């Protein structure tokens, strides 16, 4: 009887060790809400494939654009995500990009900068009476967003500073920002992005 109990204990310990090993070796994927919102992705960099892969978990309506001209046709029910590494190229200077996103911000389109600076958002709204809170932090993937509600006059903004391994932090940032913008469009309140403000 003691041998049987001992064997059961050994088998249980081995099984638990295997389960713990499997669980700790898996990378936890961030959750992206499935809303199928229209997303415009502006820019192109080494991050593009990872960002688009993560966005596809929440929507199949993604349109890639690599110039500022198509921004004029984006409506407030959409989300604009800008590749922060793309800003600053000769066709997307800070001033040109800020001027192009200003009407989007004022009509209520959530505008997000992934892996970049929030200078472009500040430039876009500097002449407006909007309460944008610029956040700062230490992160592999600094990201920022702003969404203005013309009906209430309120502005929602965030800074996302998720740490860790770069690819994982990038995926978590994209998921958090997409969920934040989707919730704002849906009129939901109380959603706070991970490490957001």
- For residue 191, being part of any structural domain is answered with no
Identify the helix (H) or strand (E) that includes residue 157.
Answer: strand 154-160
- For residue 197, being part of any structural domain is answered with no
> How many folded domains does the chain comprise?
1
- Contacts for 143 with CB less than 8 Å, ≥ 6 apart: 84, 112, 113, 114, 115, 116, 159, 160, 173, 177
User: Can you tell me the distance from the alpha carbon of 30 to that of 48, in angstroms, rounded to the nearest whole number?
Assistant: 17
CATH code, 70? 3.40.50
- For residue 91, being part of any structural domain is answered with yes
User: Can you tell me the distance from the alpha carbon of 185 to that of 80, in angstroms, rounded to the nearest whole number?
Assistant: 12
Which residues in the chain land under pLDDT 70? Answer: 1-32, 88-92, 132-139, 188-197
pLDDT at position 110: 94
Pull the structure tokens for residue 27.
């990378």
The structure tokens 């770069």 sit at 166
pLDDT at position 191: 40
Model pLDDT for residues 89-123, shown as the tens digit of each residue: 666 688 889 999 999 999 999 999 998 888 888 88
- For residue 48, being part of any structural domain is answered with yes
- Contacts for 140 with CB less than 8 Å, ≥ 6 apart: 162, 163, 164, 165, 166, 169, 170
- For residue 177, being part of any structural domain is answered with yes
Domain that holds residue 110: 2-186
- For residue 195, being part of any structural domain is answered with no
pLDDT at position 27: 42
- For residue 192, being part of any structural domain is answered with no
For residue 117, which of 87, 77, 147, 90 has the smallest C-alpha distance? 87
pLDDT at position 24: 33
Is the dihedral angle over the CA atoms 171, 177, 181, 186 positive or is it negative?
Answer: positive
- For residue 129, being part of any structural domain is answered with yes
């Amino acid at each position: 009887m003691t041998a049987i109990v001992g064997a059961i204990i050994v088998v249980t310990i081995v099984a638990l060790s295997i389960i713990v090993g499997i669980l700790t070796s898996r990378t936890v994927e961030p959750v992206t809400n499935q809303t199928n919102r229209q997303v415009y992705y502006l820019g192109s960099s080494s991050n593009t494939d990872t960002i688009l892969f993560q966005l596809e978990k929440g929507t199949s309506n993604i349109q890639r654009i690599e110039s500022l001209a198509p921004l004029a046709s984006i409506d407030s029910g959409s989300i604009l995500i800008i590749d922060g590494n793309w800003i600053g190229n000769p066709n997307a200077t800070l001033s040109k990009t800020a001027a192009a996103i200003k009407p989007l911000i004022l009509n209520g389109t959530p505008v997000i900068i992934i892996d970049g600076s929030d200078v472009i958002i500040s430039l876009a709204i500097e002449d407006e009476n909007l309460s944008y809170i610029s956040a700062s932090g230490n992160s592999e993937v600094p990201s920022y967003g702003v969404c203005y509600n013309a009906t209430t006059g309120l502005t929602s903004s965030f800074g996302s500073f998720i740490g860790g391994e770069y690819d994982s932090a990038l995926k978590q940032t994209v998921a958090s920002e997409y969920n934040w913008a989707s919730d704002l469009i849906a009129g939901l309140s109380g959603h706070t992005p991970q490490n957001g403000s």
